Amino acid sequence: MTEKQHITIKGVKEGLLFLLDDACEFDELLRELKYKLEKSHHQVLTGPLIHIHIRLGKRTISEEQTAQLRAIIRERGNLLVQSIEAEQLETACAAQEQPGLRIISGVVRSGQTLRHDGHLLLTGDVNPGGTISCSGDIYVLGALRGVAHAGDEGGELAIIAAALMRPTQLRIGDVISRPSDEWVSEDAAMEFAYLSDGRMQVDKISQLHRMRKEPIVFKGV
Amino acid sequence: MGDAIVVTSGKGGVGKTTTSANIGTALALQDRKVCMVDTDIGLRNLDVIMGLENRIIYDLVDVAHGRCRLAQALVKDKRMEDKLYMLPAAQTKDKHDVTPEQVRDIVLELKKEFDYVIIDCPAGIEQGFRNAVSGADRAIVVTTPENAAVRDADRVIGLLEQDGIAAKLLINRIRPNLVKNGDMLEIDEICQVLAIDLLGIVPDDERVIKAANSGEPTVLDPSSRAAIAYRNIARRILGDMVPLMTLEDKPGMLRRFRKFLGIG
């Protein structure tokens, strides 16, 4: 057996808890699981029906990998996989915490593309034929006349804000929308686009806090 | 050492060659030594507009390939005494027959002798464009008040910025009544999108077409509105105090034009 144990087996009220290490290779886990079931813990695991709860830690696994896990355990007739869980909530939150805000000034002209990982603040215009995209939010302190794509790695919560909202096209995540077809810019103030039930909506920037629900602590009187 | 100015636009048919011919001539009228270089190899037009077609012996490609000396290829415009010359493009070759380095060397050579080298750029952003901008110190981007032309001008400005060439805007073929009715893009609108300095505006003028066909640059006929516009632009290039309007002043400029012509 390898020096380091990647799988810890605990007895709990509901049955057995398999704690899988989330830092090692997945294949390594499979190999160790097989070994434990067939060799080292063979004695312990025989007997009546036992419910198995698998905890994956921070690891996210594909359906195929889930099937592999289940198959190995099912080979022992008396073991029944009750649940396979990862710390999903936490990982999802971590993914939305984009690293920082980048501030760039300049004009994105026709034929040019500005791409950034994280949030982006452009002090300047995006002209027709130009594209601005990033994995987080986009803020344009200028006229947005070209294409803007926020959350381009699948961030449905991303927004696109612009001082002058005149885009040829807006994209958030996988949703693509054209102005006037689906929404109309109201001229008056700085606006932002967001997804609501998978549809593009545009509203005044002052409404953004309703969506974000971030608490603001004001100091002073 | 002279100054090399490329006249470019991206889109075809907006008046690059007409602008080159007229600015070149206008600068010569201001007593500067000017050489115009046609880099539209395979589709040369500058010689036709200048009315110098029948005087061409050698061309740009011949110079680049060392088949003649630079001085032999220059065509002198006799209307301008010793002030105005032209280096014609070849009509039988294409853009790939010269390299940007060759054009740059020729322009550098011309700058030693002339105050201004005006480079007429072909339409497009491919090899011909690369050739034309390679030797340029600054650029005049020509556009017309149409969306397609403004879009292409924007693209070209982006490319020029990457090359570190400062560009100024010339809006050509403006028809004041169409602008007034909202049927044509406003000058203000164009400047807002392109976000570069405006060098000047040229009203649409039928006489420009007539002049081009007869091989006389419009600018020689001071009764034409376009001629005055080109003369003003030339003076601005020379650093004269023809007020170079800021973004807000443009309608005023237009009004001044109309007043000048007695129709405003």
For residue A201, the SS3 value is strand
CB within 8 A of B214, min separation 6: which ones? B51
pLDDT of residue A23: 80
| Six token digits for residue B196 | 């570069």
How many CA atoms within 13 Å lie on the side-chain side of A88?
4
Tell me whether B92 touches chain A (CB under 8 Å).
no
For residues A60-79, give the mean pLDDT: 81
Higher pLDDT, B177 or A108: A108
Whether A1 has a pLDDT exceeding 50, the answer reads: no
- How far does B149 lie from chain A, in Å, by closest CA? 12
Q: How far does Cα B218 stand from its chain's mean position?
A: 13
Locate tokens 């149409």: which residue? B146
CB within 8 A of A175, min separation 6: which ones? A156, A195, A198, A199, A200
Residues annotated within a binding site of B for ATP:
11-18
Whether B27 has a pLDDT exceeding 50, the answer reads: yes
Whether residue A145 and residue B192 make contact (CB cut-off 8 A), yes or no, is no
- What is the share, in percent, of chain A residues with pLDDT greater than 70? 87
User: Which residues in A lie closer than 8 A to residue B155 (C-beta atoms)?
Assistant: 109-111, 129
For B3-261, CATH number out of 3.40.50.300, 2.40.10.120, 3.10.580.10, 3.40.50.11610 equals 3.40.50.300
For A199, phi then psi, to 5°, come to: -115, 145
pLDDT of residue B46: 96
Whether residue A127 and residue B152 make contact (CB cut-off 8 A), yes or no, is no
What is the ipTM, given to two decimal places?
0.77
For residues B117-124, give the mean pLDDT: 96
Tell me the per-residue pLDDT of B222-259, one tens digit each, with 9 for 90 and over: 888 889 899 999 999 998 878 654 333 345 566 666 66
- Do the beta carbons of residue B56 and residue B88 sit within 8 Å? yes
Shortest CB distance from B155 goes to which of A110, A125, A145? A110
User: Which residues in A lie closer than 8 A to residue B161 (C-beta atoms)?
Assistant: 109
DSSP structure class, residue A26: H
Tell me whether B169 touches chain A (CB under 8 Å).
no
Confidence tier at A83 by pLDDT (50, 70, 90): confident
pLDDT of residue B264: 52
Confidence tier at A186 by pLDDT (50, 70, 90): low
CA-CA distance, B214 to B184, in Å (whole number)? Answer: 29
Best CA proximity match to B193, nearest among A121, A146, A180, A178: A146
For residues A55-63, give the mean pLDDT: 80
Domain layout of chain B by residue ranges: 3-261
List strand residue ranges (DSSP E) for chain B, in order: 3-8, 34-38, 75-76, 84-87, 116-120, 138-143, 166-174, 198-203
Whether B84 has a pLDDT exceeding 60, the answer reads: yes
Higher pLDDT, B150 or A155: B150
Whether residue B158 and residue A128 make contact (CB cut-off 8 A), yes or no, is no
